[in-house]
Structure 1
């Protein structure tokens, strides 16, 4: 206890502990703080994370046809936009295998609102970019479906996948 009698050493030890522990606590919250500048977690606020994942194929439906004898290749480097009520929320590009992931944090609506309000995925790259025999006009669009949820430590994680893509326009 002799160390604690010296006020300067005690103060420096406490300050050092606070400095070391502070980044760890912030990382555990993902830097989100519940959406209220750090107060959301203290007030019981939850943060919603929506993770949209899928595979885009080079076809008019964006999927593999079960009655087609030829293999449908993936749609690489295709731009995909996540839209809700006509507004672009987030975007990504498919990888070389046609796989994409769009994680979004802190959307201002619930999962039921997201699924019923016309939120959708829009492929912004023309189909002719992967196969010149496909239509040049129109965009592939797909509604979203909820496939799973996980919750804990003030976070709600919702896993979504696109429904069937359709050519619009």
Structure 2
């Protein structure tokens, strides 16, 4: 486990060192783009295709207890949040699956019959393409999955964008 943490820390330092600094950073594309569709429903692992969507809902990206981005859903319940900061803390939170999208607007705003639902509608986020299976390397799909994830992170930092998606929403 210590070897994995040391390796990921070294990777993050390399990624941050490759990012533009100063005046160059102003023209950099967002580090991450998180997108998804918010359902108007209660429960766990909500299938967005089977329920109505939640238009005009305020959503926030929370990583390690800190709000790092926010947006409002459109008429189709879709949102896109651009993460414009590059930090080892954010990348570490993404890798350790400590980030989630939280719907700030109460469920009653999309359907009055959901007024009695207690809890918050939320979904974890994940870097697209990262293996979510379990293995000896913390669920990164073994050495091949870890190498693939490293390539995605470095490619995202150099290219400017990491694509991040939400898992199914659940009331928590």
One fold, TM greater than 0.5? yes
Runs ≥4 in structure 1, deviation > 2 angstroms?
Answer: 61-66, 109-113, 148-156
Out of 59, 64, 70, the position equivalent to 2:41 is 59
1:30-52 deviation per Cα after TM superposition (whole angstroms, max 9, x unaligned):
xxxx4521377xxxxx9871100
Unaligned runs of 5+ residues in structure 1 are: 1-33, 41-45
TM-score after normalising by structure 1:
0.62
| Residue 8 of structure 1: aligned partner | none
1:106 Cα deviation after fit:
2.4
TM-score after normalising by structure 2:
0.61
Out of 104, 107, 116, the position equivalent to 1:127 is 107
Out of 123, 137, 159, the position equivalent to 1:155 is 159
1:56/1:63 contact within 8 Å kept: no
The 5 Å alignment of 1:35-50 reads 35-38=20-23, 49-50=31-32
2-side partners of 1:117 and 1:161: how far apart?
A: 12
2-side partners of 1:93 and 1:62: how far apart?
A: 21
1-side partners of 2:102 and 2:48: how far apart?
A: 20
In the alignment, does 2:60 pair up with 1:78?
A: no
The 5 Å alignment of 1:67-106 reads 72-106=51-85
> Size of the alignment, in residue pairs?
127
Unaligned runs of 5+ residues in structure 2 are: 1-18, 130-151
In the alignment, does 2:127 pair up with 1:146?
A: yes
| Residue 114 of structure 1: aligned partner | 94
2-side partners of 1:153 and 1:111: how far apart?
A: 10
Which structure dedicates a bigger proportion of its chain to helix? 2
CA RMSD of aligned residues (A): 3.1
1:105-125 deviation per Cα after TM superposition (whole angstroms, max 9, x unaligned):
223126454231511111001
1:93 Cα deviation after fit:
0.3
